[in-house]
Chain A
């Protein structure tokens, strides 16, 4: 009687098949890493009679017209100067020493005709409906950069690390240490320079 051994399956081409599949998935994979500028919209509430009065000196008006030109505080400005202008405005600390509004961590010019303190300072962006989205994002980016610059400076002074770096590490989950503790510190820095960006309804063309 002939001995019947079941022949072994040849697994030599297994690697080839696996490679084929691997290459297919390699090609189709798009590891999406969407990043962007986050915003909180104001809630849609009926207008109240109560008028919130913001002093003119605490308001930093950025106007963008339909051909993407920038008007900052009634002056024509190049977009690359916007960041520094916003930093100067926020960091001004114009309230006199001794008054309750006095800002003891501001390092600005302390110009009485500019903002009292960072908590009072409001940046208002006014767009035209025909402003390009590219310009809109550039302006928003520069203004956020101004806040981040100041927050970095304060966190460096108080705690010895940079606000944006620690926040990024927290976002990515690569932060080592006590998270609650650091969250509290981040919030305290945010309180020193709260993000106060207001957006007016865009004007129609030609108005």
Chain B
């Protein structure tokens, strides 16, 4: 009779943590897959203007152009005039075409005609610089552009 009563224990069993590594690994793989290590470091100040009437950018077919004043650590060398950055170096307006054709060649072949140019321009830049870029893009026949903005509204703040 005592056989059956012996096993009874009043203690709460410990939580089984054997599957904890599995869960952590799952999370790990998720983040490993979504991580994009920044491939170009910014040489210009880049505070984007705010807008709320926005569309999403299709990443696989886009080329980035940055523009703005040189970052504070480069200002001694390059001054405070607005500059254009493509890839990871400063580019002159006359060199945009060359740099962009090079970048376009790196895209997947079927998407090269649908290329979209994403302009990440600092809010203090002059519009003149932006229109110079746009003129170059027109000559290159890359007509789809998108002005990257941050969410918000300039008027309400």
Residues of chain A at the chain B interface (Cβ within 8 Å): 11, 14-15, 18-19, 21-22, 25-26, 28-44, 79-80, 127-134, 136-138, 140-142, 144-145, 148, 171-172, 201-202
Contacts and interface: CB of A to CB of B under 8 A. Distances in A.
Contact of A137 (B35, B116, B149): B149
Interface stretch (B5-13, B53-61, B84-92, B100-108): B53-61
Interface string B44-57: 00000111111111
Interface in B102-150: 116, 118-119, 121-128, 130-131, 134-135, 137-139, 141, 143-149
6 contacts: A29-B35, A29-B36, A36-B149, A41-B145, A79-B155, A136-B130
A140 B21 contact: no
Band of interface residues on B: 35 or more
Contacts of B38: 30
For B28, B37, B50, B134, which residue has the most chain A Cβ atoms within 10 angstroms? Answer: B28
Interface of B: 17, 20-21, 24-25, 27-28, 31-32, 34-38, 49-57, 59, 116, 118-119, 121-128, 130-131, 134-135, 137-139, 141, 143-149, 151, 153-155
Contact of B28 (A21, A31, A128, A137): A21
B126 A37 contact: no
The 8 closest A-B pairs by CB, nearest first: A129-B128, A134-B123, A25-B31, A44-B138, A141-B51, A137-B49, A36-B148, A35-B54
B131 A127 contact: yes
Nearest to A141: B51
Contacts of B119: 36
B32 A131 contact: no
Contacts of B148: 34-36
